[in-house]
A and B are shown apart, each in its own frame.
Chain A
């Protein structure tokens, strides 16, 4: 098991390295480099621009820039913002916290809501209740975050005055964005939960439990959930990718500080070192989350590791 985990972790790191290489190459490919995009607009002379390029190393061959960049990454030097001159590492460090708080709280909402919806959609006795849960799941999967967020602000903040609208800090301001993002993430968790629980409910040991005369609630349901919920653990970990995308839009609509807004600003300013920093960070986090999902699946079902246990 430990060997499998280590191997999976190594693969994740290799994938993250490939991803950052890909990002590096792609961002160097752009017609008109970052100096043109950011400083050229400021009306500087060509000679000055060229001097700045020299200083930033943009005139070096790409392979050398790449090695310099990699070396910097390892030493914790992630470059500087072309706009503010602030070290990218500091920008990331200052904004990682708020994004992590939003993403993790949304993930908790999503896991709770997703599991509940999935179990109800698959096991509820009344057909109408099952259909109702399924409808909520479909809604969560089909509506875009940028619409429900707007509607949620309109209803809960502008109309009913229950919660503060966008733009503040503190716990009360976290509730709406957390719930909106969590609701959408819950959709796919619920879908996997429902189909996995349905499958478990049809297995032979459940029939045996019923035949023995165990009461349906809670005993038979417990039998079903013990097996049916195992695959869901991995799906919850996999949602991190969706959450990382979702925070970009959520942070913008709710005017929250965080990596999402940093990325949007950097994209608008063509601030390549910052874009690259955010992208590399999220690729690393996402690869690690995928590895974690695989390891959790393996823990739940030893067959995944090929029986090494």
Chain B
């Protein structure tokens, strides 16, 4: 009797997958699940501790923290997914072109060198610092943050892709394939990419968890534009004034953020085995 990959996966990995599923579902279904309007302030209800009406309590404006965490997941995860997209597509393209170009004829090696010089220059900036400077250039807002965080992650993804493509192309049967005249594009597309897909997928996971932490860091620092929007980073920033008397206002969004990243990291650990 053969066991499916799901049956063979360690329990921690299954738990992580389940947790991530629940968190994503909660973000998607936030409008249906949230008991209150996340922006609706009820001044006489401010800073109430958790109760049946407000499972995670209320914040300094009397807004329901539970509803804000649900909607915050939508905004934070949406921003992070967009950022990951901004990293992955160009990162993949640059990595593949540079990696395939390295040993190709004609302008290939020059293209590789040129692309990698730009990537190395970008890599010389620490991740969050680069994103921060990009926000200074682009202005505040979620799209701007996604763009900034995405570009900040791009050089690392391009480097990993390039290294994987170079390694993939060096495998003997592909050297053979090229020797009998198969084109570069075909070899990379049909043989190299499927082989290195697990590596690229795993690093995409790493990219996503960076994107979540860094986009929330930027909204925490106040570059998210709309300051009343439910957003995990904004909630943590708002809570800084009152957490001494009402710790639930920072515990809930921080835990949601950490659990999401933890679930992604545990899934990655599980897939590496």
Contact B136 A21 (CB under 8 A): no
Contacts A154-B243, A253-B240, A275-B136: A143 and B254 contacting too (C-beta < 8 A)?
Answer: yes
A23 proximal to B (CB < 8 A): yes
Contact A270 B136 (CB under 8 A): yes
Interface segment out of the listed A72-80, A172-180, A223-231, A280-288: A280-288
In angstroms, how far is the closest chain A Cβ from the Cβ of B262?
A: 4
B24 proximal to A (CB < 8 A): no
> What sequence of 0s and 1s flags, for each residue 16-45 of chain A, a beta carbon within 8 Å of any chain B beta carbon?
101101110011011000000000000000
Interface segment out of the listed B98-106, B163-171, B213-221: B213-221
Main secondary structure of the interface of B (DSSP, over half): helix
Main secondary structure of the interface of A (DSSP, over half): helix
In angstroms, how far is the closest chain B Cβ from the Cβ of A151?
A: 7
Chain B hits for A145, CB < 8 A: 217
Contact A144 B124 (CB under 8 A): no
Task: Report the Cα distance A143→B263, complex, angstroms.
Answer: 11
A237 proximal to B (CB < 8 A): no
Interface segment out of the listed B55-63, B126-134, B193-201: B126-134
Contact B135 A144 (CB under 8 A): no
Contact B262 A267 (CB under 8 A): no
Task: Report the Cα distance A16→B120, complex, angstroms.
Answer: 9
A window 130-154: CB within 8 A of B = 138-139, 141-147, 150-151, 154
A-B residue pair count with CB separations less than 8 angstroms:
123
Contact B124 A286 (CB under 8 A): yes
Most A-side CB within 10 Å, residue of B124, B233, B240: B124
Contact A22 B121 (CB under 8 A): yes
A264 proximal to B (CB < 8 A): yes
State how many residues of chain A have any CB contact under 8 Å with chain B: 44
Contact B243 A23 (CB under 8 A): no
Contact A267 B132 (CB under 8 A): yes
In angstroms, how far is the closest chain A Cβ from the Cβ of B76?
A: 11
A221 proximal to B (CB < 8 A): no
A252 proximal to B (CB < 8 A): yes
Contact A279 B125 (CB under 8 A): yes
Contact A139 B262 (CB under 8 A): yes
Contact A150 B209 (CB under 8 A): no
Task: Report the Cα distance A283→B124, complex, angstroms.
Answer: 5
Task: Report the Cα distance A143→B209, complex, angstroms.
Answer: 10
Most A-side CB within 10 Å, residue of B135, B137, B257: B137
A interface residue numbers (CB < 8 A to B):
15-16, 18-19, 21-23, 26-27, 29-30, 138-139, 141-147, 150-151, 154, 158, 241-242, 244-246, 248-249, 252-253, 263-264, 266-267, 270, 275, 279, 282-283, 286-287
